[in-house]
Structure 1
């Protein structure tokens, strides 16, 4: 199909990024949607028609707003990263990205790599989009010396040094700036996840400099203080948002409401492959129900919720795991169409690509996922893939 300039996809059912609709015929020209007919009729003059059959539902290609292509989704991704050369790592990242694409994940926002390798990958796929998803790179995340994920090489402290680091990421071609406002779970010897790594002044300096240059800021924020500082500083997306304190997860009503009122998108960490065991860390297990309950509360309060899988951080988080996040969200009580929007149209807005991604509408990129079944009533249908299109080219 790569040599066809224009063709029509006909489908019995379609989720356009907002609503579920009946029959549709979508015209694709030069990798972009040029027409959408909601009657399912094929426009006159089109000889090439891809009829996906009566049991298929077409969706915009899924968007995973939080992945780590540099992590191998193995039992110890940090150790694996340390013993992998840049050339080997780039090859692994290509394969990880392609596995995401085969699952219908046509856009990924990578929130932490080594040596700006995701920028290289983004450039490769930009020239040959059928080879991988659209990659939105952050480069090495900003973190404190010996801080969370310091092994990526983004250690920096102080407002002026942070501003300079933001300028470097802009100059390198990053699409987003990632800052580790709090500690995390994967870095031996770093501060606890509930502890802040940066002050409000430092986070504010990063946001001001990034926004001056036209870049959004994604804030890794587990701790209550880190979450408060991040929303006060005006970050664009809050990652994880687990409301941790020294005593565990404590999602206080006032902070839940403040997050929901803020202009920040909330990137909830959902999705795991049930074929692999979840971490048995006692603190994680005991707090999971509270954290997941807070996620539902944020949606109920009107927060702009997207799902980021954090793919790559363990065996239970392979790079094609995002479809499981939708089913998990529905099980928690989030309405199915809202969950589907959280990995399409809302995710596109969070990633600042809403002008071309996340919707089936004229002018958008022809990135599609076609599944057998009805994902509105059975979210597991997202894993029953019939076809994947990237920039108009059928890749599965």
Structure 2
């Protein structure tokens, strides 16, 4: 049994005034109590004025990416041992940032899916994304042509026990020769993917940069949209009726915000050509949230130096920058993300998984406090902490 005493809490949905004590037993949360009650038989950890909150969830990562330029292109050339080392390093960086659950949305030849149960963190994944011939991320092994192949691709993913089916509805910035402003599949083809996936009890999330691809994905009935950039020949444009449709359909959107260094010159040049603006993307996230669109936090971590692993705090802060309230942004990386992924995490309440972090400061007042992680608990066990031993009884 473990008892964490802290200055305050964010329970995944609301702020909880302190002092507060979170009690865990057998891997789950037993109680969340205000004050500092005696907890016989428990290891008591005094976190001082820190804030406790659920372990963070990054809903969009690429664990096989080494967080350097050209990361995804290098993956097919790794040996098994090299790729395992990259994945371990990625998870260590995520752990240091307070991320206790990740969803990998694109691995090479099932490298993440096949090893997902050996890690401390909860790892969910899609396997190789379904893409068109020579389409975005084709080198991961998910190329398909025609409705029959699409159905077979979904069946294969069901047999591999993926957690979600990912389909590339548009091209991407990191695959040469693909059109980010175009579509890779017709609405009917996307509908085939959705129907087959739902038949197997699997959700579908669509990578979509162009406005047309977002509209097709919504019409096809996807459960989630990654990026949701809505590029047109005049730049980013999100029609009000599209936001209405996404909100009404309960489609979950991950804007993949968060970057720690400027994009390389070649990417900036491509952005300029298609009218892409990061500031506009941040603003769009806020507008869609205000419109009632369910929003989750995800970084696209691993694909480049700017999109490194462990930048979930930056991603959440960018949601706030776009106008999302602190509570909504924190929920995007905790309770809302957990609901989207179908896991019993993301909330501090009895019966839920005891994945908990502590941060210095109060992220409800200053969202940058989320980047000052001091303690990480997974399944009721402290896995990393900067606390001195005399703070533990």
Query: Residue 41 of structure 1 is aligned with which of 29, 37, 49?
Result: 37
Give the drift of 1:7.
2.0
Question: 1:277 is matched with which residue?
Answer: 262
State the secondary structure of the residue aligned to 1:159: helix
Structure 2 residue matching 1:117: 3-state secondary structure: coil
- Preserved CA contact (<8 Å) 1:121 1:135: no
Name 1:150's counterpart in structure 2.
Answer: 138
Q: Which residue of 1 aligns with 2:108?
A: 114
Residue 283 of structure 1 deviates from its aligned partner by 4.7
TM superposition shift of 1:47: 4.2
Q: Distance in 2 between matches of 1:83 and 1:159?
A: 30
Residue 373 (1) aligns with residue 367 (2)? no
The aligned residue for residue 391 of structure 2 is: none
Matched position secondary structure for 1:269: coil
Please, which of 2, 25, 28 is the counterpart of residue 29 of structure 1? 25
Deviates more, 1:148-157 or 1:73-82: 73-82
- Measured against aligned partners, the alpha-carbon deviations of 1:186-222 in whole angstroms (never above 9, x if no partner) come to 11122x1111111111111111111111111110011
Residues 47/93 of structure 1: CA separation in 2 closer, same or farther (3 Å cut): closer
Is 2:284–2:322's contact at 8 Å kept on the other side of the alignment? no
Residue 282 of structure 2 aligns to a residue whose secondary structure is helix
- Answer whether contact 2:169 2:184 (CA < 8 A) is retained: yes
1-structure distance, mates of 2:242, 2:337: 23
- Aligned pair 1:243/2:230, yes or no? yes
Task: Determine the structure 1 residue equivalent to 2:390.
Answer: none
**Cα separation, 1, equivalents of 2:65 and 2:14:** 35
Using structure 2 for the length normalisation, give the TM-score: 0.93
* 1:331 Cα deviation from its structure 2 partner: 1.9
1:95 alignment counterpart: 89
Is 2:313 the counterpart of 1:323? yes
The alignment yields a C-alpha RMSD, in angstroms, of 1.5
Q: Give the conservation status (yes or no) of the 8 Å contact 1:176–1:218.
A: yes
Equivalent residue, structure 2, for 1:70: 64
Closer/same/farther in 2, CA of residues 47 and 201 from structure 1, 3 Å limit = closer
Cα 1:290–1:102 change in 2 (3 A) is closer
- Deviation of 1:108 after TM superposition, in Å, equals 0.4
Among 229, 235, 238, the residue aligned to 2:216: 229
Conservation of the 8 A alpha-carbon contact between 1:25 and 1:42: no
Runs of 4+ with deviation above 3 angstroms: none
1:298 counterpart = 2:283: no
Gaps of 5+ in 1: 1-5
Task: Name stretches of at least 5 consecutive residues in structure 2 with no aligned partner.
Answer: 385-393
Q: Deviations over 1:283-305 (max 9, x none)?
A: 52653233322221101101001
Q: Does 1:343 align with 2:355?
A: no
Q: Residues 13, 170 of structure 1: CA spacing in aligned structure 2 closer, same or farther, 3 A cutoff?
A: same
